[in-house]
Each structure stands twice: as structure tokens, then as C-alpha cells.
Structure 1
Amino acid sequence: MGHIQKFSGSPRRDGTRAVKWRAVTMNALGKRISKVHALKSGASAWLKSVEGNPLVGAADKTMVDAADAHYRWFDTLVKAGAKEAVTRDGYGTARDEHLKADKAFAALKFSELTTPLTQAFLDQRFEATGSLDLVKRLRRVLVVWCDFAIRKGWLVVNIARPCKVETSQRPDEDEDRVTIPEKAVLARLLQAAAQGDHPERDEAAVRILMFGGLRISELLGLPDTSVALGNQGGEIRVRERLDRHYKVLGKLKSKKARRDIPIGPTAALAVRGWRIKRGPARGFFHVNAQGERDQRPGRLFPDPDGGPLWGYLDFIRDCWLPMLRRAGLVEMLPDSKGKNRPVQAFGPHALRHVAASLWISQNLMPKKVQELLGHSTLAMTMDLYGHLWKDKDEDADLARRSEAAIG
């Protein structure tokens, strides 16, 4: 059972202290919860409502209400430049295409909603979509919405957090490892880059991706002034990126993504050749995601049609796919409607993995690889590439020495 505590608040300017009342009880998961009220009657009413249904603070609200309110709040953060518009859109998709798709679940009030019902909703979404990855993301979104509802006072316990999305107990070998194209394939790609209608541009872009490890958003958002060339190579200063959905420049994914990357003489020569072919980089006025207009320096790779920014889909259409076709790395396969579609052997992000593997093969320490890639944590680097540091000769020697220690 709950109880009410009387206590004195913080001192006022005149030195007096206001009397306040703290209602204390346990929720359905056995966790202590409390709320402070100015009046004892308010504390008693809150305690009665919570103990009547320990999971709920506002019985008339639904998960859709929480999703709508969270979307509006997140949109204000996007307009303030604190969050990404694509993240906001992801919340909107989860709400419109999944939460509202289950009308019975969407109509449940928080006073009726429980963890088992939330788990059943996730299970139903898996049956409908067949995608574990999608349902995992949906569970994370439900947790965010419930946390938001708690902050609003609509919910006391996050009923989505105990839910679980089952995964395979026997994952396939190398299931989580990144795919790195073979060196012979990469050589074909470099050869194809120099054979198209825009060899200077394509070769410079591919060499920066392959040997600099940039994300494609960082490449397309790269100012011309951020690439410094010298006799023995050059350096790329990564400070911003281009949003692939909205085609606006923005902040990097994390503070660690701000980095300086060395490039070798061949890549530097390719960039120099592209600059000569392209001509001077022209500055432009840019309107960011918050509607603010400012002047920016020209990009290293502007839009071939004359615009200041080269979007992701345009890059794939104008540069990447034609280059892969020349290298024999595109296969035409029928889609669900029987119409042939181009299927690429790998996307431009694979070249980021190539750069990491090349650095590791030169015995760079994990921390240095993390810095060059701009990963937010060393754990992320090790999860992706830890297997590449494996030394088979060293492992065999370890096994021999272990046996010799006993026998």
C-alpha cells in the first residue's frame, strides 16, 4: 500500500518554507514511484488513481496520442537544428504504417494497455511484415513513445520495455560480418571509373571513398576548401554532410565524425585532375533544415546539371551505376512484377569497408582505425572489423605454446 509524506519545500525569499505532500507507492513491476503535490488532497487522489491501475497515470490517452505528441515535439527539435528530419520521418512512418495499421491496439487506452498486449502487437506486426529487423525498430520506437508518455504524466511504467523480439538462436556463420569486395573486383572498378564520360570526376570520387573511408553523405557534402593537396598526397577535413533525403547540408552523425583523413598521391592526383576539369568551385546560398539562409563555399562534387549540391540518388544514377555496369558488376534480375531491374554487386558504402580493411592490413591499431572512420565508439569499430585483426599464425603459435605448458 502507498502512503503520503509531509515535508518542507525549498526556502522562499522571505525564509519561509512551503508545505508539500509526497505520495509514494509501488508500481506493477515492484518499482518505487512517487509524486509531489502542493495539497494533501492532490496526493491522495494521485495515489488512489495509481493504485487502482498501477501501470497508468492518464487513463484517457492512447499510444497514438503519445505518438502524435512526440512527433510534434520532435518536429520542434528538427526546426531548432537539434535533431534530423529523417529521424522524425521514421517516427511518422512507424505511427502511420504500423501503429495505426492495428486499429484495435491503436484504440486501446493506457488504462487498458499492458505489456502482453504490446508484445502481441509486435508479434502481429512480424506476421504481417515477415521482417525481424523492422519489428526490432518498432519495439525501440514504442519504448521511446512510452518514455515520452511518462514525461507527460500519461504513463507511470514503460510497458514496451519488457517486450522482446526473438532472434535466431543459431545465426549463420559470418552473418554479422561486413562484405568486402575482392581486390580484383576493386581493380576493375577503378579501371571502369577512368573509362566513362566523366573519368576525372568518377575516379576522384571512387578513390576518396576507397582510400579515405568517407560515408557517401560526407563525400557529397564535402566543401572544395576541405581538401588540401600536397606533393606527397593530401588531407580531407570532414566537418559536415549532405542529408540524402532532403538534400540539405547538416551536422555530422557525432563529434567523433569530425576528423582529418590522409590520402595518398594517386588519390590526390585524381582530385587535382578533377578540379582542373570542373573549374573553380562556386559558392552558393544555402537554406538549411531550419529555413536559415547563409552563404557556403562550393562543393568538391557539385551537381553535374549545374546545381550546387549533388544528391544521393543522382550520384547513384549518374556515377555509381554506370561505373558498375562498365565493370560488369550490375546484374539485371526480375522484380516481384517480373520486370528486370539492375541489381548492383555492392553499394558505395562497401568502399568504406575497403578502406578500413586496407588500414587494418597495414597494422593500424583499432583506436586509430576508429578515428579515421569517425566511429562514435571503439566498440562499433571492433564489432564491424574485429575479425580482420585475427592473425592465424599467431593463433597457431598460441595453441602450440598452450599444449607445451602442460605436456
Structure 2
Amino acid sequence: MTSVRKRNWTAPNGEEKTAWQVDYKDAAGKRRSKQFTRKKDAEAWLTTAAYQVQQGTHTPDSQSITVAKAAELWIKRGERENLEASTLAAYGQHVRLHIVPLCGDKKLSQITRPMAEGWRDDLMEKLSRPMASRVLRSLTAIVSEAQGRGYVAQNVVAGVKMRRAKREKPKVVIPTKAELKAIIAAAKASAEPMAYPLALIAIFAGLRASELRGLPWRCIDLKAATVTVDQRADVKNVIGPPKSEAGYRTIPLPASAIAALTAWKLACPPTDDGLVFPSLAKRVMSHMFMNVNIMGAVQLAAGIADPMMKDGKLALDKDQQPVVAQRYTLHDFRHAAASLWIEQRVNPKRVQKWMGHSSIQVTFDTYGHLFDQADQDSAVAAAIEQELIG
């Protein structure tokens, strides 16, 4: 039985108080009550609550928790599941800097779809689209975790989506063939002996930076001319498994890479983890050192660099010469590998496998324009052949 009744009482300080109390039974048949200052608010809430009870989606406020508390439970679960340190740090940042200030004090049972849509809009106004999307996904996961624990009956945030961007998604930055040739030549001439094999593996195998840093010699098959990925180094230089099942893969290597690796294996200092590219201390090399001190230095030697700007002006060194920086990161060489495979008409599913993508959609979203271009090139060649040969 449900009802809305007026309640009068005297406060401890002698002040007369009035409120409108809603009495109802939840889905389990337990009597519940909730007070409102105005009668119309009480009636409106009761209409919604009665429908939710009937649908089995109602959670009493007394049994719910705040978004901030739910976020704590979500983070702790991630810690128990041994998520990567970088992932936990990102989640903690989402919660601390964005979610708690936005809605941390709100009880899960009080969240409505319009409310969640408003939070999405607030995030989009304050943050970049990619960051707003990540924070919204974290908020959805937080409520989902609480739902599984029985603190809320439904996840209204799950249906809230980011609006589709009007601008075209920027294409990936890919080094040109001329630049790749210059980089390979500079790496081969470098005084750093690991620069040449590192450049060849990065360009021809498309490994992630974390996979290059955690690559062991046991995963290099010099006879079969392949490299296998079954581990990686995280942001704290800790060796662990790939981030997903798709990360486990075997990729073919050309003869030049095998020759360079064979020579480097004889000179490579031994390490406890048997690393192919260890640091000077014979441990996992940091991302910055590999990216800047090795591949960055190779690019500068090859003349592949861009001037740096400071306060809108060209940055100058102490001799008043322009300061330049490497043009490409380690991840850009991963894109280079994909583009070379696609140009050779490698099947999209195989490109997905070699890149370690979780789905073919990721591959098409990233390199779809390259596949389209390859198809067009093939059609042009076939048309010319038809005209000349028949």
C-alpha cells in the first residue's frame, strides 16, 4: 500500500516542523518511507518509485551508496585483479579529478538518465573528447560494479553515449618510405649497437613500445625468422603478460632484421630476464630512453626532425641555433609497419593478428583509409591491364 501524508512534529528547539511523507513497500515487500518539503514533489517521486518497484528497478536510498563510495569499491576491485599500475593510476585520476567533483556526493539510487546526460555534457565542456569519453566509461563501470553488489538496481549511466564528433577523425601519422630508409641507414651507422636491430624490429614487426622493452631473446626465432609476443613491460618497467589475449602473436621478420639480431645477440649484455634491448643497468629500458635517446637520436642523425616552438616563437639554444626534436615516436613506427603490410595486400584479418588488435573493427577504424587506397590502386592496375592486354 502506498500513501502520501502530511507529518507535523516539534523539533528539539521547539520549532514546529511540517513535511510530506511517502510510505510504500519495496520489491521485497519491506515498508519504506521518504520525506519531502512539498506535496507535489512527494507525489511525483511516488509515481516514479511505484513504477520502478513494479519493474524491479527500484533501490531505496537507505540501501544505496554514493558515487564516491562506489568508485572506491571499483578501484579496490581493480587492485585485487592486479590491473596494470598505469591503468589503476588513470582510473584513480578519473575518479579524483573529475567524477568525485562532478557527482561524488550523489547516491546511486538518485541518479536519473537526464542527470547522467547532464554530467556527460559537463565533461564534454571541460575536457577533450577522448578524455571525456574515458571518464564517462569509468563512471559507467563504477555504477555497474555497484549494481553487481546490489547497491543499485539499474545502471542508467550505461545508456549515455558521447555525441558523434562532427569533424573527421584525424588519420594516424605514418613515416614516409624515404624517411624509413633514412632512419634505417642512420641506425645502421649509429655508434649505439642496438639501434639498428631495434629500428628494424620496430619498423618491420610493428611491436608496441612496451612489447619492445619487454622482449626476451627466447621470443626471437632466428631460424624461423619470427618474433613472438607473450609479455610486455608496463609503465613501471615491470614484466607481465600482454594487455589482452590478442596481444599474444607471432610476426614474420625479413632477412635483414634476422641478420641484425644475430649480430646483436653476440654483443648484447646478458640480463636476468634475457632482454633483447636492456638498459645500461641490464634491466628493463625506460620508454623515454628508448624513444628519445635511441630512436630519437637516430632520427636526428637522419635529419628527420622538426623545429621546436616556445611561446609561439622558434626555440633557440645557447648559440642561437634552432632547437629541433625527433619527428616520430615509437608508436609511429608501429603505424609504419601496418601501412607496409597493407600496401603489400596483406589480408585485413592478418594485419589485425600481427598488430595485436582486439577486433577487426579497431584495425579498420585505424587503417581503413589505407585499405581503401590499396583497393583503389589494385583497381587502377587491373583497368590498365585490361586496356593493354585484354
TM bracket (short chain): 0.7 to 0.9
2:278 alignment partner, SS class: coil
Larger Rg: 2
- Deviations 1:22-59 (CA, angstroms, capped at 9, x unpaired): xxxxxxxxxxxxxxxxxx99820179899368365252
Match of 1:134 in 2: 131
Does 2:175 correspond to 1:181? yes
Distance 2:200 2:174 in 1: 16
1:317 alignment partner, SS class: helix
Give the aligned length: 334
Does the 8 Å CA contact 1:298/1:308 hold for their aligned counterparts? Answer: no
Distance 1:226 1:397 in 2: 39
Distance 1:255 1:46 in 2: 48
Match of 1:271 in 2: 261
Q: Which moved more, 1:216-225 or 1:156-165?
A: 156-165
Distance 2:97 2:314 in 1: 26
Match of 1:362 in 2: 344
Note the 1:157-306 alignment, pairs <5 A: 157-169=154-166, 171-172=167-168, 175-198=169-192, 200-230=193-223, 234-243=225-234, 245-279=235-269, 281-282=270-271, 284=272, 297-304=273-280, 306=281
Structure 2 residues not aligned, in runs of 5+: 3-24, 35-47, 316-322, 385-390
Does the 8 Å CA contact 1:228/1:235 hold for their aligned counterparts? Answer: yes
Cα distance change of structure 1 residues 337 and 357 upon mapping to structure 2, 3 Å threshold: closer
Note the 1:21-170 alignment, pairs <5 A: 43-45=28-30, 51=49, 54=52, 56-60=58-62, 61-78=65-82, 83-102=83-102, 105-129=103-127, 131-169=128-166
Distance 1:41 1:387 in 2: 54
2:110 alignment partner, SS class: coil
Q: 1:93 Cα deviation (Å)?
A: 0.7
Distance 1:337 1:141 in 2: 36
Cα distance change of structure 1 residues 77 and 338 upon mapping to structure 2, 3 Å threshold: farther
1:298 alignment partner, SS class: coil
Does the 8 Å CA contact 1:213/1:353 hold for their aligned counterparts? Answer: yes
Structure 1 residues not aligned, in runs of 5+: 3-39, 285-296, 401-407
Distance 2:144 2:275 in 1: 41
Cα distance change of structure 1 residues 267 and 42 upon mapping to structure 2, 3 Å threshold: closer
Distance 1:145 1:239 in 2: 30
Q: 1:360 Cα deviation (Å)?
A: 2.1
TM-score by length of structure 1 reads: 0.73
Q: 1:329 Cα deviation (Å)?
A: 2.7
Cα distance change of structure 1 residues 62 and 335 upon mapping to structure 2, 3 Å threshold: farther
**Structure 1: which amino acid aligns with 2:28?**
A
Match of 1:403 in 2: none
Distance 1:190 1:70 in 2: 46
1:261 alignment partner, SS class: strand
Cα distance change of structure 1 residues 197 and 395 upon mapping to structure 2, 3 Å threshold: closer
Does the 8 Å CA contact 2:175/2:332 hold for their aligned counterparts? Answer: yes
Distance 1:216 1:386 in 2: 23
Match of 2:17 in 1: none
Distance 1:345 1:229 in 2: 31
Q: 1:135 Cα deviation (Å)?
A: 0.8
- Deviations 1:244-274 (CA, angstroms, capped at 9, x unpaired): x121011112223222222111111111222
- Deviations 1:316-354 (CA, angstroms, capped at 9, x unpaired): 232122222222233342356989486542211121222
Does 2:371 correspond to 1:389? yes
Q: 1:222 Cα deviation (Å)?
A: 0.8
Q: Which moved more, 1:353-362 or 1:182-191?
A: 353-362
2:345 alignment partner, SS class: coil
Cα distance change of structure 1 residues 46 and 236 upon mapping to structure 2, 3 Å threshold: farther
Distance 2:70 2:254 in 1: 52
Within the candidate set 353, 373, 376, 2:358 is matched to 376
**Structure 2: which amino acid aligns with 1:372?**
W
Distance 2:313 2:377 in 1: 50
**Structure 2: which amino acid aligns with 1:253?**
K
Does the 8 Å CA contact 1:204/1:267 hold for their aligned counterparts? Answer: yes
Does the 8 Å CA contact 1:58/1:154 hold for their aligned counterparts? Answer: no
- Deviations 1:159-202 (CA, angstroms, capped at 9, x unpaired): 21232322333x33xx353332111111121122133330x200
Distance 2:370 2:125 in 1: 37
**Structure 2: which amino acid aligns with 1:318?**
N
TM-score by length of structure 2 reads: 0.76
Does the 8 Å CA contact 1:357/1:388 hold for their aligned counterparts? Answer: yes
Distance 1:270 1:219 in 2: 15
**Structure 2: which amino acid aligns with 1:92?**
G
Does the 8 Å CA contact 2:113/2:157 hold for their aligned counterparts? Answer: yes
Greater helix share, structure number: 2
- Deviations 1:196-225 (CA, angstroms, capped at 9, x unpaired): 330x20010010010112111111111112
**Structure 2: which amino acid aligns with 1:357?**
S
Distance 1:42 1:372 in 2: 51
How many percent identity over aligned positions?
A: 27
